[in-house]
Chain A
Amino acid sequence: MQRITSVILRRYIPAAFARGLIIPILAVFTAIVVGSIFMMINNYDPLAAYGGMLDGALGSKRAIARTILNSVPFVFGGLSVAFAFKGGLFNIGGEGQLFMGAVAAAWIGVTALGIPPWLHVFLSLLAGCIAGAIWGGIPGALKAFTGAHEVITTIMFNFIGIVFAGWLVSKGGEGQKQGPLVDPDPMNIVPRTAEIAESARLPLLEWGREPMHLGIILALVAAALIWWLVWKTPFGFGLRMLGLNPSAARYSGVSVVRNTVITMAVAGGLAGLAGTVETLGRNYYFAPNFNVGYGFDSIAIALLGRNHPIGVVLSALLFGVMDAGSTRMQLNAHVPSEIIKVVQALILAFVAANEIIRYIYRLRAEGEEEEVVLSTGWGKR
């Protein structure tokens, strides 16, 4: 069985392409198998479960539309982590950046500006992107100027951002004022913003009768732009150099300070866009209770996608499928949807520790692999 899979993969897929795909595919496959074992322990039927998942995610035009929409924030998040990673930085701050982007987009979105819709949408998108960029850029600047490690500062900024966004839409009470962005309608007892103006909503695409907003196009454009930026421009040349050999980058005149700030700001802007697109395209308001664990999912997506935009789009789609299909899976096979998290954790583990996969499938080690030097340690030395 193991032999056969590897033989098939080796024989029928072009070598160079397969080298990039073989580990991720086997990692996903193995994680799904291990997930089935978990299901069988609890007497669930894995085939029914995964069947339900596929049905729920891809079974109808409507399901496919939902899957694609679910994938949109994952694409942005995966790109955010992958981009930072290329520059030798670790962005765990996706969640905070997403919150800040979402609340900023909602702020511009609810404000009636009396401007044409395309401009209102654009300004709202820009606001979300900038808010995320600031939320990523500050840890970047702290790293560049003081050496404070971005992993811990982005984790801290997650909490600061989430609490701050929560305050913006808090209801107040007991002597506490309500937050400045909370829905002024007293009938609304939920802490959230008002609905954004029609003019700030992302235009819907024509795709049968299914709702499908512009976000997916934006995500694909972002992926293409990141690819161009990293592999085709001098900025990307310097960025990758910084990730691969910081000393050589310094020798070559790449400004470590400037690049660290820019890289983290771009990464933050991407994650901010994830929240923005959700707000402007789907929810139409901001409430401080969405997308728990988004930052960690983004890490898994980036890694599964080998930090390449195409890989990120593909793995974001996979996560979108899992996300969209989990409800149907729970309905059809009564499997708690959290099994998806277990499978995702296993995928990440197998991709990261790919020796496990190599061992199971008796694959030979690949040749020279690019290895990014991540700075280690928490503070300046």
Chain B
Amino acid sequence: MDSSLVLIAVLRSTLRQSTPITLGALSGLFCERVGVINIAIEGMMLTAAYMGYMTNVLTGNLILSVIVAVLSGGLMALLHAWLSIHFKVVQIISGTVINILAVGLTGYFYQPGAVTKGKLQSVTVPVLSDIPIIGDVFFNNGPLTYLAVALVFVVNVVLFRTRWGLRMRAVGEHPSAADTLGINVISTRYINVVIGGMLAGLAGAYLTLEAVGSFERLMTNGRGFISLAAMIFGKWTPLGGWAAALLFGAANAVQTQIQFSGNVTIPHQFIGMLPYVLTVIVLAGFVGRARPPAAIGRPYEPE
């Protein structure tokens, strides 16, 4: 195969693979920045993927399908918030509840053989898409892919430049300080966890409404957990999370490429392992120190 075509294929695949991870990382970020661990990105994504798909099957309205997917991700997050914030259930356990529940519900309501009515089509950006390679890779994608990239920058501004972001970070770092200044810790956490769920929902929508166009049981296939890894690898920042998602996406793309190219001897599984190994290395502090929000994992107890 022509090497520039291979390059384009790998880059396109990288971007495609990274989109749900990027959104998932933003989802984790919203939760963890206010001090709530979210290992349920996977479950939220899966639920949203299913709901978006079913809405598409029933109505054929893609925009409505995306909205339903986003809302259902938010709904699962609301359950996570209710269990972990209101009942103070250990956040990892309530995340586990969501994950098992999502597998159960989507499997239970799944109707094999349902027919969808199309998926989101690529939007070509005029002029820019004519640039060689870059144009093909970056300016000829589905709407949710563009949206994911835009959200990275929006979230970055929100987190570090706005009033809301400042309050969010304060709640995640030192909730009682925020409380004494009249910031409602509980409602801040609820709102942000639900927003996090909606972002995971968008990732799910991407899977069934833009990338694949149909639903299968367990189709998220660990992407929620990779998202969590990307968020940590990116040190709890939107840009870092995006970079990690691109790196992880690239590992995946290269892995796929190797399986079919036939002249690389490194087992493709070893490249597939890379994201997980790298995350462990970063977490263990072997390269730079990742510093999580100080109040993470702890239910808020006013003095």
Instruction: List residues of A whose CB falls within 8 A of some B CB.
Output: 38, 42, 90, 92, 142, 146-149, 151-153, 155-157, 159-160, 163-164, 166-167, 170, 174-177, 179, 292-293, 296-297, 299-300, 303, 336-346, 348-349, 352-353, 355-356, 374, 376-381
- Does B92 contact A355, Cβ atoms closer than 8 Å? no
- Does A379 contact B100, Cβ atoms closer than 8 Å? no
- Does B265 contact A352, Cβ atoms closer than 8 Å? no
- Does B87 contact A296, Cβ atoms closer than 8 Å? no
* A12 to B94 alpha-carbon distance, docked (Å): 33
* With contact pairs A174-B260, A176-B268 given, residues A152 and B228 touching in the complex (Cβ less than 8 Å): yes
Question: What residues of chain A lie closer than 8 Å to B93, measured between beta carbons?
Answer: 299, 303, 348, 352
Which residue of B261, B283, B297 is within 8 Å of A174 (Cβ)? Answer: B261
Which residue of A156, A339, A349 is within 8 Å of B97 (Cβ)? Answer: A349
* A104 to B21 alpha-carbon distance, docked (Å): 32
List 14 interface pairs A-B (beta carbons < 8 Å), by A numbering: A148-B284, A151-B39, A155-B39, A164-B273, A174-B261, A338-B104, A338-B106, A338-B110, A341-B103, A344-B104, A345-B100, A345-B104, A353-B87, A379-B289
Determine if B34 is an interface residue (Cβ-Cβ < 8 Å).
Answer: no
* With contact pairs A159-B225, A175-B264, A344-B100 given, residues A379 and B292 touching in the complex (Cβ less than 8 Å): yes
Residue of B whose beta carbon sits closest to that of A349: B97
Determine if B142 is an interface residue (Cβ-Cβ < 8 Å).
Answer: no
Q: Of residues 245 to 303 in B, which have CB atoms within 8 Å of A's CB atoms?
A: 258-265, 267-270, 272-273, 276-277, 279-280, 283-286, 289-292, 294, 296-298
Question: What residues of chain A lie closer than 8 Å to B26, measured between beta carbons?
Answer: none
Residue of B whose beta carbon sits closest to that of A147: B285
* Chain A interface main SS type: helix
* A278 to B276 alpha-carbon distance, docked (Å): 27
* A166 to B260 alpha-carbon distance, docked (Å): 18
Determine if B107 is an interface residue (Cβ-Cβ < 8 Å).
Answer: yes
Determine if B90 is an interface residue (Cβ-Cβ < 8 Å).
Answer: yes
Determine if B96 is an interface residue (Cβ-Cβ < 8 Å).
Answer: yes
Apart from A156-B276, A176-B268: 16 A-B pairs, beta carbons within 8 A: A151-B92, A155-B225, A159-B225, A159-B273, A166-B269, A174-B261, A176-B259, A177-B267, A179-B267, A336-B108, A338-B105, A341-B101, A342-B105, A348-B100, A374-B92, A380-B289
- Does A148 contact B269, Cβ atoms closer than 8 Å? no
Question: What residues of chain B lie closer than 8 Å to A348, measured between beta carbons?
Answer: 93, 96-97, 100
Question: What residues of chain B lie closer than 8 Å to A149, measured between beta carbons?
Answer: 283
- Does A175 contact B292, Cβ atoms closer than 8 Å? no
Instruction: List residues of B whose CB falls within 8 A of some A CB.
Output: 37, 39, 83, 87, 89-90, 92-94, 96-101, 103-110, 217-218, 222, 225-226, 228-229, 232, 258-265, 267-270, 272-273, 276-277, 279-280, 283-286, 289-292, 294, 296-298
Residue of B whose beta carbon sits closest to that of A38: B108
* With contact pairs A167-B269, A378-B232 given, residues A296 and B99 touching in the complex (Cβ less than 8 Å): yes
Question: What residues of chain A lie closer than 8 Å to B264, measured between beta carbons?
Answer: 175-176
* With contact pairs A177-B267, A342-B105 given, residues A356 and B229 touching in the complex (Cβ less than 8 Å): no
The minimal Cβ–Cβ distance linking B244 to chain A, given in whole angstroms, is 13
- Does A379 contact B104, Cβ atoms closer than 8 Å? no
- Does A377 contact B265, Cβ atoms closer than 8 Å? no
The minimal Cβ–Cβ distance linking A289 to chain B, given in whole angstroms, is 12
Question: What residues of chain A lie closer than 8 Å to B283, measured between beta carbons?
Answer: 142, 146, 148-149, 152-153, 378-379
* With contact pairs A176-B267, A300-B96, A379-B292 given, residues A148 and B280 touching in the complex (Cβ less than 8 Å): yes
- Does A352 contact B97, Cβ atoms closer than 8 Å? yes
The minimal Cβ–Cβ distance linking B249 to chain A, given in whole angstroms, is 15
The minimal Cβ–Cβ distance linking A264 to chain B, given in whole angstroms, is 14
* A345 to B298 alpha-carbon distance, docked (Å): 22
* A142 to B281 alpha-carbon distance, docked (Å): 10
Residue of A whose beta carbon sits closest to that of B264: A175
Question: What residues of chain B lie closer than 8 Å to A342, measured between beta carbons?
Answer: 101, 104-105, 108
* A305 to B159 alpha-carbon distance, docked (Å): 42
- Does A379 contact B290, Cβ atoms closer than 8 Å? yes
- Does A160 contact B273, Cβ atoms closer than 8 Å? yes
Q: What are the 3 tightest A-B residue pairs by CB atom distance, in nearest-first order? A: A341-B104, A338-B107, A376-B297
* With contact pairs A152-B228, A345-B100 given, residues A177 and B269 touching in the complex (Cβ less than 8 Å): no
Question: What residues of chain B lie closer than 8 Å to A174, measured between beta carbons?
Answer: 259-262
- Does A349 contact B285, Cβ atoms closer than 8 Å? no
* A355 to B292 alpha-carbon distance, docked (Å): 30
* With contact pairs A146-B284, A341-B100, A379-B285 given, residues A352 and B262 touching in the complex (Cβ less than 8 Å): no
* A148 to B217 alpha-carbon distance, docked (Å): 32
- Does A352 contact B277, Cβ atoms closer than 8 Å? no
Question: What residues of chain B lie closer than 8 Å to A147, measured between beta carbons?
Answer: 284-285
Question: What residues of chain A lie closer than 8 Å to B37, measured between beta carbons?
Answer: 151, 376, 378
Question: What residues of chain B lie closer than 8 Å to A148, measured between beta carbons?
Answer: 280, 283-285
- Does B222 contact A159, Cβ atoms closer than 8 Å? yes
Residue of A whose beta carbon sits closest to that of B285: A146
- Does A176 contact B258, Cβ atoms closer than 8 Å? yes
- Does B96 contact A292, Cβ atoms closer than 8 Å? no
Which residue of B94, B280, B289 is within 8 Å of A352 (Cβ)? Answer: B94
The minimal Cβ–Cβ distance linking A316 to chain B, given in whole angstroms, is 16
* A35 to B286 alpha-carbon distance, docked (Å): 47
- Does B100 contact A300, Cβ atoms closer than 8 Å? yes
Question: What residues of chain A lie closer than 8 Å to B90, measured between beta carbons?
Answer: 352, 374
Q: Most chain-A Cβ atoms within 10 A of its Cβ — which of B90, B260, B283?
A: B283
Residue of B whose beta carbon sits closest to that of A356: B87
Which residue of A142, A146, A160 is within 8 Å of B276 (Cβ)? Answer: A160
